[in-house]
Amino acid sequence: MTSIKLKLKESEVQQLKEVAKSFNNEPGELINVLHKAQEIFGYLPAEVQEVVAQELNVSVAKVYGVVTFYSFFTMLPRGRYPISICTGTACYVRGAEKVLDEFKRLLKVPVGETTADGKFSITCLRCVGACGLAPVVMVGDKTYGRVTTDGVKEILKEYEDQE
């Protein structure tokens, strides 16, 4: 754990406080508030969790306990183009693992991490419910179906030219 304290943008903190208020600062709304917080900040660093804890009057440990329980919440900033590879059963039997390996090989980062340039990050997720298109890969909100190892290169190419 890094000891360098992250500085949050005041406007974003304010936004988060508004969100908490819109949920009546109810401790029971913790998960809803965390969802919104992740939308605002992109991820949930310790500092954000501290604000959430303060606003909902729950212990930071509890917030952290909840954040680490659910795989949807992340404490690491994701890449500008977060790549999610579905590793649900349908995708698994149709070769998701090979697709995942190819992403890892080409981007040279393990699952859960972001490339040095902050462009791509790789995560695995469980079934997006598009099993008909297995194996499925998502980049941001865009879904790619029937992805092959060859297709991996093409997907990356789409984003490499940007920025």
Partner 1 sequence: MTKIKSLADLKKLKGDLQSKIALREKSDTPEGRVIVKVAMSTCGIASGAKDVMEYMIDEFEKRSIDAIVTQTGCIGYCYAEPTVEITLPGNEPVVYGYVDTRKADEIIEKYIKNQELVDGILPVNYQTIEKDKEE
Partner 2 sequence: MIKINIDNRTVEVEKGTTIFHAAKKLGIEIPTLCYMNLGDLNIEHKPGGCRVCVVEVEGRRNLAPACATDCYEGMVVKTHSMRVLNARKTVLELILSDHPFDCLVCAKSGTCDLQDMAIKMGVRSIPFQGEKSTYKPDFSPAIIREMDKCIMCRRCETMCNDFQTVGVLSGIHRGFEAVVAPAFERDLDHSECTYCGQCVAVCPTGALVEVDHTTQLIRDLADTNKKVIVQTAPAVRAALGEAFGLEPGTLVTGKMVAALRRLGFDYVFDTDFAADLTIMEEGTELLDRLTRFLGGDKEVKLPMLTSCCPGWVNFFEYHFPDMRDIPSTARSPQQMFGSIAKTYFADKIETKREDMIVVSVMPCVAKKYECTRDEFAVDGNPDVDYSISTRELAMLIKRSNIDFNSLPEEDFDKPMGESTGAGVIFGATGGVIEAAVRSAYELHTKKQLEKIDFEQLRGLGGIRSASVDFDGVEIKIGIAHGLGNARKLLEDIKAGKSEYHAIEIMACPGGCIGGGGQPLHHGNPEIIKARQKAIYQEDAGKPIRKSHENPYIIKLYEEFLGEPMSEKAHHLLHTHYFDKKKKDILID
Partner 3 sequence: MAKFKMHMLVCGGTGCRASASDMLYENLVKEVKENGLEDEVQVVTTGCFGFCEKGPIVKVIPDNTFYVSVEPGDAKDIIAEHAIKGRRVQRLLYVDPTNKEQIADSKGMGFYKKQIRIALRNCGMIDPENIEEYLAADGYEALGKVLTEMTPDEAIQEMIDSGLRGRGGGGFPTGVKWKLAAKEKADQKYVVCNADEGDPGAFMDRSILEGDPHTVLEAMVINGYCIGASKGLVYIRAEYPLAIYRLKIAIEQAREYGLLGNDILGTGFSFDVEIRYGAGAFVCGEETALIHSMEGERGEPTFKPPFPAQSGYLGKPTNVNNVETFANIPVIYNKGAKWFASIGTEKSTGTKVFALAGKINNVGLIEVPMGITLREVIFEVGGGIKDGKKFKAVQTGGPSGGCLTEKHLDTPIDFDNLLAVGSMMGSGGMIVMDEDDCMVAVAKFYLDFTVEESCGKCSPCRIGNKRLYELLDKITKGQADKEDMDNLRNLSYVIRDTSLCGLGQTSPNPVLSTMDNFLDEYMAHIEEGRCPSGVCKDLIRYEVIPENCVGCTACARNCPVNCIAGERKQLHIIDQALCIKCGACLEKCKFNAIAII
Which residue type, as a one-letter code, is found at position 61? A
Candidates 13, 75, 109, 125; binder of partner 3 (CB under 8 A) is: 125
Residue 81, interface with partner 1 (CB under 8 A)? no
Q: Is 47 or 97 the residue whose CB approaches partner 2 more closely? A: 47
Helix 60-69 with 30-41: angle, nearest 10 deg: 80
Residue 130 touching partner 1 (CB under 8 A): yes
Residues that bind partner 2 (CB under 8 A): 1, 5-10, 13, 46-47, 49-51, 53-54, 58-65, 68-69
DSSP 8-state assignment for residue 112: T
Which residues are CB-neighbours of 85 under 8 A, at least 6 positions away? 91, 96, 99, 100, 103, 122, 123, 124, 125, 135, 136, 137
* Residues engaged in binding partner 3 (CB under 8 A): 26-32, 34-35, 58, 65-66, 69-73, 87-90, 92-94, 98, 101, 105, 125-132, 134, 141, 149
